[in-house]
Amino acid sequence: MLGFSLGKLIVLGLIIAAVWYGFKLIGRRSQGVGNKPAEPKVENSAPDAQNMEKCEECGTFVPVSAAQNCGRDGCPYSAAGTE
């Protein structure tokens, strides 16, 4: 009555496969994959990366090219913005 037969196993496999591919299809639809044409990549307009160094006085990291005085006594950066 509740035994396994080849027919039942095949039907079970087909049901599992249908559910699996159904979830994949719904997931693709919700992400919009395939609905939009591929967009060309846009070059990054951000400036190039800069080296950072840690201020010994306040502990913050500042770009080497734009280091400014933090206002604390003993700050290694001059008030003009250059070291």
Cα of 79 vs its chain's centroid, Å: 38
Report d(CA 12, CA 73) in Å as an integer.
76
pTM score, whole prediction = 0.36
Residue type, 49: A
Contacts of 52 (CB under 8 A, 6+ apart): 61, 62, 63, 64
Q: What's the token pair of residue 76?
A: 């290694």
Report d(CA 29, CA 34) in Å as an integer.
8
**35-76 pLDDT per residue, tens:** 556 666 666 666 677 888 888 777 888 787 777 777 777 777
**10-37 pLDDT per residue, tens:** 999 999 999 999 999 998 887 765 555 6
Domain ranges of the chain: 1-34, 50-83
